[in-house]
Amino acid sequence: MNMRILIDKINENKAVIGIIGLGYVGLPLALRFVEENFSVIGFDIDEDKINNLNNGKSYIEHISSSLISNAIEKSFIATSNYAKIMDTDILIICVPTPLSKQREPDLTYILNTIETILPYLHKNQLLSLESTTYPGTTEEILKPKIESIGLIIGTDISLVFSPEREDPGNILYSTKSIPKIIGGITKTCLEVGMTLYEKVISSVVPVSSTRTAEMTKLLENIHRAVNIGLVNEMKIVADKMGIDIHEVINAAATKPFGFTPFYPGPGLGGHCIPIDPFYLTWKAREYGIHTRFIELAGEVNNSMPEWVISKLSDALNEREKSLKGSKILVLGISYKKNIDDMRESPSVRMMELLRNKGAILSYSDPHVPIFPKMREHIFDLKSIHLNSDSIKSFDCILLATDHDAFNYELIKNNSNLIIDTRGKYKEKTDKIVKA
Does 396 qualify as catalytic in the annotation?
no
Q: Are 327 and 245 in contact (CB under 8 A)?
A: no
What SS3 class is residue 276? helix
Query: What's the CA gap between 201 and 187, in Å, rounded?
Result: 20
Measured at the CA of 367, the angle between CA 29 and CA 275, to 5 degrees, comes to: 55
Q: Are 223 and 217 in contact (CB under 8 A)?
A: no
Strand order in the sheet with 360-364: 360-364, 327-331, 396-399, 418-420, 432-434
- Exposed (0-12), middle (13-18) or buried (19+): which is 256, by Cβ within 10 Å? exposed
Q: Are 417 and 331 in contact (CB under 8 A)?
A: no
The catalytic residue among 94, 189, 272, 396 is 272
Q: Among 224, 343, 346, 231, which residue's Cα sits nearest to residue 273?
A: 224
How many other CB atoms are found less than 10 A from the CB of residue 44? 21
Q: Among 62, 61, 67, which residue's Cα sits nearest to residue 40?
A: 67
DSSP 145-188: HHHTTTPPBTTTEEEEE------TT-TT--TTTS-EEEEESSHH
Q: How would you classify the pairing of strands 432-434 and 204-206?
A: unpaired
Query: What's the CA gap between 228 and 268, in Å, rounded?
Result: 8
Q: Among 32, 39, 35, which residue's Cα sits nearest to residue 9?
A: 39
Query: What's the CA gap between 45 and 37, in Å, rounded?
Result: 25
What secondary structure letter does DSSP report for 82? G
What secondary structure letter does DSSP report for 316? H
First and final C-alpha spacing in the chain: 61
Q: Which residues pair with 205 in a beta bridge?
A: 181
Residues with a known catalytic role: 272
